Amino acid sequence: MPEPSLVATHYARDGLLEAIVAGMAKLGKTPESVALDDLAPVDEFHIGGRGATASFLDQVGLGAADHVLDVGCGLGGASRFAADRYQCRVTGIDLTQDYVETGTTLCGWLGLADRIGLEQGDATATTYADGVFDKAFMLHVGMNIADKAALAAELHRVLKPGGTLGIYDVMRTGDGELTYPVPWAMTADGSAVASPNDYKAALEAAGFRITAERNRRAFALDFFARLQATAASGPPPLGLHILMGETARTKVLNIIENITENRVAPVELIAKKSV
């Protein structure tokens, strides 16, 4: 069972902002000239990147009047995309202080600080008032949260009646031990992968109604095939290797293996809180 401190330590990176600035410089970008899409390769830390974010969030039905919770926001890439595309207000929460601080700086560079607030905290025990959010989403977060029931109950509590929750996580789809390290954990001690049925049971027990489910295994394999086709030229100036560190290549190869063997797959779930 991954402890919050273990999870935060796994993702913590010294010099993260400096590494991003250095990557931007290779692209001819500065904090004054960088655009939302320039940062997507480094701040969308989930399978499929920006393309997956857009397809997923379109299903959540975000609108300009919504106050949205980004659960496990990381650097806030999905928060910034949501605020820009749907003109909504976003609050992001993440265990890792390095991500929150760096992400807040990136929001300032892009002129989105007035619509996005990123905060350090535990998604299973937030300090938010009951029913404060219209919508909520999480992208590749639940693999680090063992207590899915507590997570579902907390998200149900902070959502307004009729609110929508979107989940895009790597989930258990078959048998066999996972090969580690993977992007979310160095060993099994840091991983809390669960099946779609486990998620649905926790959500329904909390009071949610499941409205949609989509297995994205084929999408993931195509994404990784395209990624490997460009790997020979070396890592890009901005990419997830900045977040994953020296073990980035091994983590990617292992998640490809785990998905290919159908041990896991990225899965989307959309759920509604009763009115």
**Residue extents of the structural domains in the chain:** 4-172+191-244+265-273
> What was the pLDDT predicted at 1?
59
State the sign of the Cα–Cα–Cα–Cα dihedral 61, 265, 71, 154.
positive
Strand 159-172 to 133-139 pairing: parallel
How does residue 155 score in pLDDT terms, banded at 50, 70 and 90?
Answer: very high
Q: Given a cut of 90, is residue 275 above it in pLDDT? A: no
Q: Provide mean pLDDT across the span 6-21.
A: 89
Q: What radius of gyration, in Å, describes the C-alpha atoms of the chain?
A: 18
How does residue 225 score in pLDDT terms, banded at 50, 70 and 90?
Answer: very high
How does residue 231 score in pLDDT terms, banded at 50, 70 and 90?
Answer: confident
pTM: 0.96
Q: Provide mean pLDDT across the span 29-46.
A: 95
Average pLDDT over all residues of the chain: 95
Structure tokens at 122: 């535990």
Distance CA 264, CA 170 (A): 6
Q: Given a cut of 80, is residue 31 above it in pLDDT? A: yes
Distance CA 110, CA 24 (A): 14
Cα dihedral 151, 157, 158, 159, rounded to 10, equals: 100
Q: Provide mean pLDDT across the span 222-226.
A: 92
Contact indicator for 185, 229 with CB cutoff of 8 Å: no
Which H or E run contains 67? Answer: strand 67-71
Q: Given a cut of 90, is residue 91 above it in pLDDT? A: yes
Place of tokens 């292992």: 254
Pairwise pLDDT comparison (13 vs 112), residue with the higher score:
112
Q: Superfamily assignment of 4-172+191-244+265-273 in CATH?
A: Vaccinia Virus protein VP39 (3.40.50.150)
> What was the pLDDT predicted at 14?
86
Distance CA 165, CA 220 (A): 22
CB atoms within 10 A of CB 274: 10
Closest CA to 74 of 96, 47, 107: 96
Pairwise pLDDT comparison (92 vs 12), residue with the higher score:
92
Structure tokens at 188: 């099994």
What is the tens place of the pLDDT at every residue in 43-56? Answer: 999 999 999 999 99
Query: Residue 74: left (phi > 0), alpha (psi -120 to 50), or beta?
Result: left
Place of tokens 């929001």: 107
Q: Given a cut of 80, is residue 95 above it in pLDDT? A: yes
Which H or E run contains 168? Answer: strand 159-172
Q: Given a cut of 80, is residue 89 above it in pLDDT? A: yes
